[in-house]
Structure 1
Amino acid sequence: MRWLLLYLFFVSACRNTDLNRLGSASSPYLKQHADNPVDWYEWGEEALTKAKLENKPLLISIGYASCHWCHVMEEESFMDTAVARIMNEQFICIKVDREERPDIDRIYMNACELITGNAGWPLNAFALPDGSPFYAGTYYEKESWKSLLLQISKTYRQQPGKVKLQAQSLSHGIAQLEFSVIDTSVNSSAFTVSDYYKIYSAVQNKLDTVFGGLTGAPKFPNSPLLEYQLQYAAITEDTIALQQLLTTLYKMALGGIYDQLEGGFARYTEDSAWATPHFEKMLYDNAQLISVYAKAFKLTRDPLLEKVARQTIDFVFKTLKTAEGAYFSSTNAVSEEGEGYYYTWTYKELETLIPDFLSQFSNYYQVNKSGNWKNGRSVLRAAFTEEQFALLNKLNPESFSAQLASANQKLLAYRVKRAKPSVDTKIIVSWNALMVMAYMDAYTAFRDTAYLNRATQLGELLAAEMDKGIRHIAEAGKEEVFLEDYVLVGKAFLQLYQQDFNKEWLFRSAGICEQLIEKFYDNEAGIFYYTSAEKGYPVIRKIGLADTEIPAPNAIAAILLYQIGSLLDNKEYLQLSASLFGKIKLELVGDKAPYYGTWAQLAAWYGYGTKEVAIAGSDALRINQELQQNYLPLAIFLGTEKEEFIPLLHNKVTMTKTMIYVCEDGTCKRPVENPRLALKQINQK
């Protein structure tokens, strides 16, 4: 943290020493814009009131600390005094950290999607003084930006009626966007196994059969979709579906999106082959991908999947962990030397560091003298696994792997001496909840107690945060609360309970369900809103139905209510979950089907039913660990070593034996002692 502050101070000292309002912001991203000549405001009443008083349009620029093109636009335009003069004279300028205010980001992201057909960051939106958007785009070169500013300003002054009409139309479109997939006539009880197959058919049309993931470029990991593909392959025993998933996991693990030396995934690649990354690494991506790789390992026992999951955990732990055991949000793509410099190599560097192994190393990682990236630099990326490469080149696989590991260590030792990319030090509650679940999935897969200890430590930190009232950004003095934080923390607590059977986690998770309903549920619409009514919301109140960088909050709410309802025999929660699921008609999503993967996972429970696995007796924890080493996507676990109030555990503890009860809808099969027999019962469809 100290080196980051010194670095920011140094950069600031070399630039304009006069700070604007963002100098007092809590967000590291906003602070990076504190020396801009632009008269930036944070989002809030002060900016909106000023816009109304002066009848000026809002210019809302949204980005985040590790966004490369955000920094490019800042240097080109926001640091330019001539550009800043236009912005200050004609607009009220607001700078937003999209990670700090996802509620604001989603509104203007939707506006950009409706206007241009795509979106990204930096996101630059223009709005009426009340915040209603009328135009939006992404990155602009300086001259294009100046031209756009002047055109927007002129149109706003000379054709106010046209601008207001556009804002009304766009706001209506944004408000209706999510409701387009809601169908109140759908009855969840009518959902069948054949409907579950139809969902996969819709997704399958969008899958890249060569490189994995979704077709096209740029290419982003879609973890909720990967989770659904894994679930589908396991439940249906579809070997083609499993191979499609493994193609994705392998191509990502070998490609440039994955840091071959240190572990961890970049946010996306520019191409369709996972080859050329944008180098920022996000906590949410890495946490979710740890879970995917760990669960896929449970199903396949593939050692490459274990290696990737463990390496990624090591990256997160070494790079993003705070002293208290929480995790920062991201690492930047840019270091002092420029974008991607920290991660890439010149051929001359490789010649110096690994002269005796250079030929094989270069062939394996597709490196050449002119570079495979830019400015003569190369990204390390492989086309084959180590064993495949060795066999194709008539090498001893064990010897080649040992030499490659040695070379990788030499390069890593050299690389860590370079100036490191900065770290965004926000502690985002929902993303930390994803990391709890990542550790738990890794623990159940690999039986490494360090992962359980870290998950428990982080869970306790989130519990302490919950006691103060869950906020999106921990310890930042911000009061924003969002649905994603509540549902993901609740799910993390429930996952902790299912491993250690400490009922405090179950109580906490159930308590969050009560808060969900109180703060976010709308009885008339029958859904959870993304923002709490008591805290207010900007312009348009969003819902959160589709998967974005994190799983769809409403889908996670439905899953959480389903699981807690099943464990505690709470009919209200089960009915609410079914009602939520029944409102989402997956056939309506069309081309967006890959972004409803979390709903598709829930669909399996309504199609196939869920197994509640109750383990009662003195050996409950050991048996639980043995069972959960397997991938069991339709099972929920509960247990105790002594008599317990939980309905499914009541009167099930004996003095001499530990028994396993596999139940469905509260009705249990004949109890067994042998975990292998229990597995057969769990896997019966």
Structure 2
Amino acid sequence: MAEDRKPNRLLNESSPYLLQHAHNPVDWYPWGEEALQKARQEDKPILVSIGYAACHWCHVMEHQSFEKEEIAAVMNAHFVCIKVDREERPDVDAVYMDAVHAMGLQGGWPLNVFLNSEAKPFYGGTYFPPKQWVGLLQNIAEAYQKDREKLDKSAEQFVEHLNRSELEKYGLGQSNFHVREDDFKLMGYNFSTRFDRKLGGLGQAPKFPMPTNYLFLLRYHHHTSDQTALNQVNLTLREMAYGGIYDQIGGGFARYSVDAEWLVPHFEKMLYDNGQLVTLYAEAYQATRETLYHEVVYETIRFVERELMSPEGGFYSSLDADSEGEEGKFYTFTKDELHEILGSEEPLFSKYYHATAAGNFEHGRNILHRRTSDEEFARAHELEVEVLQDMVQNWKNKLMEVRAKRIRPGLDDKILTSWNALMLKGLADAYYVFGNDHFLDLALRNANFLLQNLKRGEKLYHNYKQGKATIDGFLEDYAYLIRAFTRLYEVTFDEQWLQQAKQLTDYTLEHFFDEGEGLFFFTDQSSEKLIARKKEIIDNVTPASNSVMATNLHFLGLYFDEDRYISLSNEMLAKVKDLLVKEPSHLSNWATLYFHKLTPTAEVAISGKEAARMRDELSAFYIPNMILLGTSNGQSKLALLEDKVALDGKTTIYVCYNKTCQLPVHNAAAALEQLQGMQQKTKFPPL
């Protein structure tokens, strides 16, 4: 067994991914000065191998190559070998992923990059089969001895590329800030050209959820009343919720589907996906009142609480795709297994979830999925909807009991600030929409955990495990947590959360902001210096940290009447606008910020004993371009709440735009009328 081998240096690490490799015969080092210094002293090339604990192909390459003595011997003889958990060190991953792309190669994980002794890259790739891997190792070792000058020259060119400005790379530059209806319309049109109008999502396989895309499309529809955008949101959210990418029995989403139908996932479940998807489905429910979205939010939160929440209140990072050496075994069932569990109800269950004797996955197993609504299924099988739904819940309970006895997928139990912040915001959003006090309790517990364990003084840390936080926070940690704390203020009116958000914002401006380019670096100026200091502007499965910071500056500028914040936000958006209009699906969080600036953001202040109830009444309506603030006792340090008092002893709502307020009102319906009247909508023709 691997554990019988002498451990390498990774045994002292906290990352589950690094610990998975701690008994490899490869002489792995963690990323750090010890390994880099060894390479310089011995003038050896460096192999940096990057992955994460829930990565299926990372496991495959480990089993096929890194666990093999003969392959490890080649690696140890010719290279200083470094293992990196990309989730712990997204800065290292970003630098060397960019390098591989610059080499004209396809990126992905595992990411294997070869560096010279100065940590400068000259070659790389992703997964390699064993024979090909050994051949590559031998060729590179030989080239490093015979053609060192050529490799070093190539490495210098890659480093030069890595240090190019992101704005220069995408052909962007300084431009004056302005937002226009025509550009917004063009964003919507350009977005629509990528719609898969049959199966939802964008383009073909593989398909990722990409929550920021649909949050933008919800706002696009809100502003334009364009039904095409809302249809695409509803199609996508329904197909994902019906598909195998969604755990039909236990709730929660897998990372992506390998096909265009959302059927066959890579079964790993990531915290960052589920946090964002709670936000998306909650907001979509608020806009549409679709009961399916309600079900998805509740089941996903139950999954996260049950399987990813630590006793201390933090959220773990992910669940592996594999168990018992097979991908998806924990989540899938054969027809015989289903019959044994469900007895006479199995045929109806199998029709509902499309399970067959042949199966739709490996080894005759079934990925459970739906194709119709409960109403349609009940009608087709002459059942009352309520009776069907009771049966479905009973089926889920029985299958969960069976799954509880199975060998579970591996848990990545490190806690990351940025991903926790996404989940924290999801919980706050779910509480705002559904009013479920348990969601707020979970959110507050998590927020206090983060403050107690991942914030020291003014500074954040990125990771936490077993009482230790060891890695300096990245911009994503600050950006996502600022956004989550701002939202937490809106659903509690507890000003400590808004003050925390402002303090963190001011820290980022001092330690991350590049005055010359007007954007934020990904790393703190006091953190470890890599061969390049990157900026993140493209929105991906998670939104780019710069787009989130620009959004934070917009909202906090309103809350604190900070013109500098607003100005910086405008300038950041102006820099990416040209690319945003052309490629909105790659900058969809920026597109959402554009929406917020297209019409004035409403400032809704509630003062009086019934402030929380009035906020809850407003939450029944989808008002995406609004900040909420309030006080139940008339005490506040916020300038926006000055002079906004409860009139005649009644709780009072003030609806304001651009520092100008409407007449105060005493009920949510009147405030809603003011909001709808002031936010003038430009009606665009359908896409």
Q: Shift in Å at residue 593 of structure 1?
A: 3.4
Question: Which letter does structure 1 place at the counterpart of 2:297?
Answer: A
Whether the 8 Å CA contact 1:443–1:451 is kept in 2: the answer is yes
Provide the residue aligned with 2:554 in structure 1.
Answer: 562
Residue 357 (structure 2) pairs with residue 369 (structure 1):
yes
Whether the 8 Å CA contact 1:293–1:309 is kept in 2: the answer is yes
Residue 670 (structure 2) pairs with residue 677 (structure 1):
yes
Q: Shift in Å at residue 630 of structure 1?
A: 2.1
Q: Which consecutive residues of structure 2, in runs of 5 or more, have no partner in the other structure?
A: 681-687
Provide the residue aligned with 2:172 in structure 1.
Answer: 183
Question: Which letter does structure 2 place at the counterpart of 1:614?
Answer: A
Q: Give the secondary-structure state (helix, strand or coil) at the position aligned to 1:614.
A: strand
Q: Give the secondary-structure state (helix, strand or coil) at the position aligned to 1:533.
A: coil
User: Could you tell me how far apart the structure 2 residues matched to 1:289 and 1:586 are?
Assistant: 28
Provide the residue aligned with 1:631 in structure 2.
Answer: 622
Q: Deviations over 1:328-363 (max 9, x none)?
A: 111111223522111111111012112312222222
Residue 486 (structure 2) pairs with residue 494 (structure 1):
yes
Q: Give the secondary-structure state (helix, strand or coil) at the position aligned to 2:122.
A: strand
Q: Deviations over 1:85-144 (max 9, x none)?
A: 111111111100011000011112222333345322111111222222222211111111
Residue 585 (structure 2) pairs with residue 594 (structure 1):
yes
Provide the residue aligned with 1:342 in structure 2.
Answer: 330
Q: Shift in Å at residue 404 of structure 1?
A: 2.7
Whether the 8 Å CA contact 1:290–1:442 is kept in 2: the answer is yes
Whether the 8 Å CA contact 2:194–2:202 is kept in 1: the answer is yes
- Between 1:61-70 and 1:164-173, the stretch displaced more is 164-173
Provide the residue aligned with 2:374 in structure 1.
Answer: 386
Provide the residue aligned with 1:533 in structure 2.
Answer: 525
Whether the 8 Å CA contact 2:244–2:265 is kept in 1: the answer is yes
Provide the residue aligned with 2:341 in structure 1.
Answer: 353
Provide the residue aligned with 1:261 in structure 2.
Answer: 249
Provide the residue aligned with 1:207 in structure 2.
Answer: 195
Q: Shift in Å at residue 588 of structure 1?
A: 6.3
Q: Shift in Å at residue 582 of structure 1?
A: 1.5
Give the one of 210, 219, 231 matched to 1:222: 210
Provide the residue aligned with 1:9 in structure 2.
Answer: none
Residue 47 (structure 2) pairs with residue 88 (structure 1):
no
Provide the residue aligned with 1:6 in structure 2.
Answer: none
Percent of pairs with identical residues: 40
1:153-164 matched pairs, under 5 angstroms: 153-164=141-152
Q: Deviations over 1:6-41 (max 9, x none)?
A: xxxxxxx65443000001111111011010010111
1:458-497 matched pairs, under 5 angstroms: 458-464=446-452, 465-468=454-457, 469-474=459-464, 475-497=467-489
Residue 50 (structure 2) pairs with residue 59 (structure 1):
no
Whether the 8 Å CA contact 1:334–1:421 is kept in 2: the answer is yes
Q: Shift in Å at residue 177 of structure 1?
A: 6.8
TM-score by length of 1: 0.95
Q: Deviations over 1:224-283 (max 9, x none)?
A: 112112221222221111010111101100101000000010111111111101111000
Whether the 8 Å CA contact 1:367–1:379 is kept in 2: the answer is yes
Whether the 8 Å CA contact 2:122–2:155 is kept in 1: the answer is yes
User: Could you tell me how far apart the structure 2 residues matched to 1:239 and 1:588 are?
Assistant: 22
Provide the residue aligned with 2:506 in structure 1.
Answer: 514
User: Could you tell me how far apart the structure 1 residues matched to 2:275 and 2:386 are?
Assistant: 31
Provide the residue aligned with 2:435 in structure 1.
Answer: 447
User: Could you tell me how far apart the structure 1 residues matched to 2:645 and 2:320 are?
Assistant: 53
The structure-2 alpha-carbon separation of the partners of 1:240 and 1:588, relative to structure 1 and needing over 3 Å to count, comes to: closer
Q: Deviations over 1:284-318 (max 9, x none)?
A: 00000001000000011111000001100000000
The structure-2 alpha-carbon separation of the partners of 1:589 and 1:82, relative to structure 1 and needing over 3 Å to count, comes to: farther
Provide the residue aligned with 2:63 in structure 1.
Answer: 75
Residue 386 (structure 2) pairs with residue 398 (structure 1):
yes
Residue 182 (structure 2) pairs with residue 194 (structure 1):
yes
Q: Shift in Å at residue 425 of structure 1?
A: 0.8
The structure-2 alpha-carbon separation of the partners of 1:201 and 1:587, relative to structure 1 and needing over 3 Å to count, comes to: farther
Residue 283 (structure 2) pairs with residue 295 (structure 1):
yes
Q: Deviations over 1:128-172 (max 9, x none)?
A: 222222222111111111122122222222222332233233333
Give the one of 566, 573, 581 matched to 2:573: 581
Provide the residue aligned with 2:658 in structure 1.
Answer: 665
User: Could you tell me how far apart the structure 1 residues matched to 2:386 and 2:636 are?
Assistant: 52
User: Could you tell me how far apart the structure 1 residues matched to 2:222 and 2:511 are?
Assistant: 36
Whether the 8 Å CA contact 2:251–2:302 is kept in 1: the answer is yes
Q: Deviations over 1:511-564 (max 9, x none)?
A: 111101111011112111000111133211111111233211111111111111
The structure-2 alpha-carbon separation of the partners of 1:243 and 1:160, relative to structure 1 and needing over 3 Å to count, comes to: same
Q: Shift in Å at residue 184 of structure 1?
A: 3.4
Provide the residue aligned with 2:91 in structure 1.
Answer: 103
The structure-2 alpha-carbon separation of the partners of 1:477 and 1:442, relative to structure 1 and needing over 3 Å to count, comes to: closer
Q: Deviations over 1:569-621 (max 9, x none)?
A: 1111111111211211243685x532211101100122122111111222212
Q: Deviations over 1:399-448 (max 9, x none)?
A: 33332332222122111111111211101011111111111111111110
Question: Which letter does structure 1 place at the counterpart of 2:396?
Answer: N
Q: Which consecutive residues of structure 1, in runs of 5 or more, have no partner in the other structure?
A: 1-12
User: Could you tell me how far apart the structure 1 residues matched to 2:496 and 2:164 are?
Assistant: 40
Whether the 8 Å CA contact 1:111–1:170 is kept in 2: the answer is yes
Q: Deviations over 1:370-419 (max 9, x none)?
A: 21101111111122222223334555443333323322221221111111
Give the one of 312, 320, 324 matched to 1:324: 312
Provide the residue aligned with 2:643 in structure 1.
Answer: 651
Q: Give the secondary-structure state (helix, strand or coil) at the position aligned to 2:425.
A: helix
Q: Give the secondary-structure state (helix, strand or coil) at the position aligned to 2:460.
A: coil
Whether the 8 Å CA contact 1:66–1:332 is kept in 2: the answer is yes
User: Could you tell me how far apart the structure 1 residues matched to 2:488 and 2:388 are?
Assistant: 40
User: Could you tell me how far apart the structure 1 residues matched to 2:475 and 2:252 are?
Assistant: 27
Q: CA RMSD in A?
A: 1.8
TM-score by length of 2: 0.94
Whether the 8 Å CA contact 2:272–2:542 is kept in 1: the answer is yes
Whether the 8 Å CA contact 1:199–1:586 is kept in 2: the answer is no
Question: Which letter does structure 2 place at the counterpart of 1:186?
Answer: S
